[in-house]
Amino acid sequence: MKRLWAPWRTEYIHGPKSRECIFCREYGKGDKKDLILHRGNFASVMMNKFPYNNGHLLVYPWKHTGLMEEMGADETLEVFRFIKESVSILKKEMNPGGFNIGMNLGKAAGAGIDEHIHFHVVPRWNGDTNFMPVIGEVRVMPEHLQATYEKLYPHFQKLNTA
């Protein structure tokens, strides 16, 4: 595999590892630093720090559970409302050709954080699976995470939490 210089990963590699769950309500002292775009009554939306594509979002309930059957009706409704709103905002701001939306439920299914349910909303463009990831085994991220955050944040602040 080829290497692509990605200095922003140094923070993750050398930084202190928190035992705190990144999806729990108490996580994060600053939404911008933690890439949290919106906090609702039962769920939140954050950007993925290690995205598959630009605009890769994570939507999750605050309840710390890895079991879908433990999600209440209010949590389920808000999570799916935020997935729907995320698609709408990403369409408006980033103009993708499509989306991958889903979750990996359990370690065996590929969940990186299997103890807290979260859904991925990944914008896709025609040609984003070009020769770089297929042949070169390198993914190119054309926009810095903070620039994407600044672009999306104002849209998410307009969401009603009721």
Catalytic residue, candidates 38, 56, 116, 118: 118
Residue in this structure with the two tokens 């990186």, named with its chain if needed: 112
Q: Which residues contact 106 (CB under 8 A, 6 or more apart)?
A: 66, 114
Amino acid at 35: L
118 a catalytic residue: yes
Q: What is the 3-state secondary structure (H, E, C) of the chain?
A: CCCCCCHHHHHHHHCCCCCCCCCCCCCCCCCCCCCEEEECCCEEEEECCCCCCCCCEEEEECCCCCCHHHCCHHHHHHHHHHHHHHHHHHHHHHCCCEEEEECCCCHHHCCCCCCCCCEEEEEECCCCCCHHHHCCCCCCCCCCHHHHHHHHHHHHHCCCCC
Residues with active-site annotation: 118
